[in-house]
Structure 1
Amino acid sequence: MPALTSKVEEFHLLGYDRATEEELWECVIANLKKGKEFVRIHHLVKAILTLKATDYMTWLTIGAYKGPNWFETEEEIKFGQN
């Protein structure tokens, strides 16, 4: 937890004010899932402390692209009608 708090504070200093500990945790876990099944604690802390802002923003962007498809339904959109 102290490593996540430190990284969030670093990102806030860099101008990424919307970064949260939960999002950073999800980003780090997503990156670690690509590798080994078992991760030692010092590798986890290293992954948190070496996370770059560009990697975090890339993860957020990919997550936004994988989000729900708003155009999936064929329901008609009515503009200006209540």
Structure 2
Amino acid sequence: MGDSQQFEIWKKDIMPVLTSKVEEFHMLGYDRATQEDVWECVLAKLKKEKEYVRIHHLVRIILTLKITDYMTFLTIGAYKGPNWFDGETEFTFGDK
């Protein structure tokens, strides 16, 4: 895919599509869905593309995004989050 993609430039143009997808997720009961999370999920899917992605393909990916794919993305992101047990952070309990 390379660095020649212009997803951030297109983000402003496709904001109505992102808004529509977030509203769809809200209607399905997923009230915590945000435009930024949906955007990050779509970008993660597009990283797998080997060819240059056109804007109509980007819109199609957003419109066909399923709630299961979105929730899987969030779950994997939670697992990849900060490691609480890496030993760098010292936890204190009480007044100690």
- In the superposition, the TM-score normalised over structure 2's length comes to 0.78
Alignment of 1:80 with 2:91, yes or no, is no
Unmatched runs of 5 consecutive residues or more in structure 1: none
Unmatched runs of 5 consecutive residues or more in structure 2: 1-14
1:39 maps to: 53
Any runs of at least 4 consecutive aligned residues in structure 1 with deviations exceeding 6 A, and if so which? none
Question: Which of 16, 26, 30 lines up with 2:40 in the alignment?
Answer: 26
Mapped partners of 1:38, 1:60: distance in 2? 26
Aligned-residue RMSD, C-alpha? 1.5
Mapped partners of 1:68, 1:30: distance in 2? 19
2:63 maps to: 49
Mapped partners of 1:74, 1:45: distance in 2? 42
Deviation string 1:14-34 (CA, Å, 9 cap, x unpaired) is 011010111100100100111
Alignment of 1:4 with 2:36, yes or no, is no
How many residue pairs get aligned? The number is: 82
Mapped partners of 1:43, 1:74: distance in 2? 43
Percent of aligned positions that are identical = 76
